[in-house]
Each structure stands twice: as C-alpha cells, then as structure tokens.
Amino acid sequence: MSEFWEDAFQEKNLMWGEEPTPLAIEAAEIFKQLGFRKILIPGFGYGRNARPFYEQEFEVTGIEISGTAIKLAQKLLGPEIRVFQGSVDDMPFDQDAYDGIFCHALIHLLDAGQRKKLILDCYRQLRPGGMMFFTAITKDASTYGVGEKLGTDRYRTKDGVNLYFYDKDSIKEEFGGFGLFEATKIDEAGNGKPATRFWKVVCKKTEAHVQN
C-alpha cells in the first residue's frame, strides 16, 4: 500500500480522532490514586482510550475483534501493546486478575445475553478491591426510538448498528449485583460529532462481595 493510501486509510478509520474520552482520563487518574497496576480494556478499538493508561504506566491488556483496529493501535501506541484479537463473547482470554477494567461504548452494542456475560466475565477477572468503569448509551440520546425496533429499548439504526438504550432501572438490573456504586449521566462529543448522552457506570468488587 502506498504511503498516500495508507495515510488516507488510517484517517478514515480514526473516526473518533486520537484524543481519549474524558472518562478514560478520569478512570486512569482514579486507578493511579488507588495504586492499581493491571488494567483490562475490552473493546480496545484503535487504542485512543488506552493512551491515558499507558501514560500513567499501567500494565494494559486489551481485547479487540478487529485486526484493522489492532494494527492502527500498534501505529498509535507501539507494536509491543498486548491485545487479544477476538470477541468479548469469548472472554476470558487469560486467567489474570485485573485491578481495573475500562469498557467504553461497547456494552450497548450487545444483546441481553451478551451483556450479561460481559459484565460477569469482567467481574470475575476483577480482583477483590478492584473497580470497573463502563459507559453505555442512554435513552436521552437523540437516536433512541429511531430505526427498526428489535425489542424493549433496542433498535437497529439506518447504518445497521444494533443499540440497547439504558435507563436507571436497566442499569440497576444489569449491574446491581456486581458492586454498583455510581451511575451518572455524561455527555461526550468526539471529533466534530454531536454530543451523545452516556451513562457512566462504576462498580467495585469488595472482599466480601465475590461473584462465583
């Protein structure tokens, strides 16, 4: 591939730009303050949200289904990054226990069974005292109710993307058994795109609360 077309291909695929979401920066700061070391990022993408964790010198492991995204991440972050290629449906990819987990804008792309498995798999790989951050699209988003209805609060967009829209009750239902202690709404705009309303969902695994 020529240098020109390689650059054009990379620009097209960096759809959210190279800057991390503010929540990734916040999570990295919190994890650092808590003395965390090992971080898991399901839905690694091309690595923009992993950057704050590398900058804080965490030991980062990613999971990403797209080989193209992984190659882009290697260009942005370096070839030595540790990323398992595969679907989060196939977790776990290792038997490590992680101090922190950061999962951005992934869970709402999954169906009910997949969402349940992802939360459980992440929680199982979280060490006691560890913390996990998720972001999930809310029913306040402008795309809620638009497109083909697939089920309760789940729609297929005109681009063929399936989205499940969370409200307070569904957050509690899906995360309540996994150390949920914060669910707040945040706005995120990226790379010239309109702001999208997300839930910030934070769970903590205590010594006394270990899910089998």
CATH classification of the domain holding 151 = 3.40.50.150
- The tally of domains found in the chain comes to 1
Structural domain harbouring 14: 3-204
Q: What is the pLDDT of residues 101-147, one digit of tens each?
A: 999 999 999 999 999 999 999 999 999 999 999 999 999 998 999 99
Sheet strands (E) in the chain: 38-42, 59-64, 82-85, 98-103, 126-137, 148-151, 154-156, 162-164, 180-188, 196-204
* CA gap 160, 169 in Å, rounded: 26
The answer to whether the pTM exceeds 0.75 is yes
Is 76 contained in some domain?
Answer: yes
Residue 10 — very low, low, confident or very high, per pLDDT cuts 50/70/90? Answer: very low
Is 117 contained in some domain?
Answer: yes
Is 162 contained in some domain?
Answer: yes
* CA gap 105, 97 in Å, rounded: 23
Q: Could you tell me what percent of the chain has a pLDDT over 90? A: 80
Q: Are 50 and 41 in contact (CB under 8 A)?
A: yes
Q: What is the pLDDT of residues 16-49, one digit of tens each?
A: 567 899 999 999 999 999 999 999 999 999 999 9
Q: Are 72 and 46 in contact (CB under 8 A)?
A: yes
Q: Are 171 and 201 in contact (CB under 8 A)?
A: yes
**Average pLDDT, whole number, for the chain?**
89
Smallest Cα–Cα separation from 44: which of 90, 94, 93, 104? 104
Q: What is the pLDDT of residues 184-199, one digit of tens each?
A: 999 886 555 667 889 9
Judged against a pLDDT cut of 70, whether residue 2 lies above it is answered with no
Quick check: helix, strand or coil at residue 129?
A: strand
Is 97 contained in some domain?
Answer: yes
